[in-house]
Amino acid sequence: MEKMRAAILKSVEPFDSRIKVSEKLGFKVFKPCADLKNKLVAEWGRRANFCICAAPGTLNDAVDAAEFCGKILCFAGPGRNYENWNLSPIQGKELEIKGSFIIKDSMPRAVTMLEEGVLDLALIITHHITLSELDEGMRLMRTGEGMEIIINIGA
């Protein structure tokens, strides 16, 4: 499990509030930037073998940051202007890109990681709101102030 922990503790995050939480969880965090692939090479000696796109519009960044023959998993859509996408980098780097709404067969591994304390996920809960505060919760998510927001339905 320690090997798995070392493999996952790197991320790219634009919001300072989320960076602070990620760093508390032990992640090495990079901000999105034009020279991200150079920063990854300086840090690891190569680009990323695996990328997960969890926010809309990050596919371009993932393709750029991915190592040759790397794998990219997309939980979020490509964002705007995807119809003008240049597929040459995908083909030229022989990337494997997979879209997913929910990762098939991932639940047992996720439960194992939680049971073994790989991550303290309580740190990512940034807010508790009531159902009447849902608009504020959406604002917190859009601005990056919120990471995981618990909605208390009965409150």
Does residue 28 sit in helix, strand or coil?
strand
Asked if 39 contacts 57 with a C-beta cutoff of 8 angstroms, the reply is no
pLDDT for 130: 92
Cα–Cα distance, 28 to 83 (Å, whole number): 33
* Per-residue confidence (pLDDT) for residue 1, from 0 to 100: 46
Tell whether the model's pLDDT for residue 91 goes beyond 50. Answer: yes
pLDDT digit string, tens, across residues 122-149: 888 899 999 899 999 999 988 888 888 9
Alpha carbons within 13 angstroms on the beta-carbon side of residue 38 total 3
Whether the pTM exceeds 0.85: the reply is no
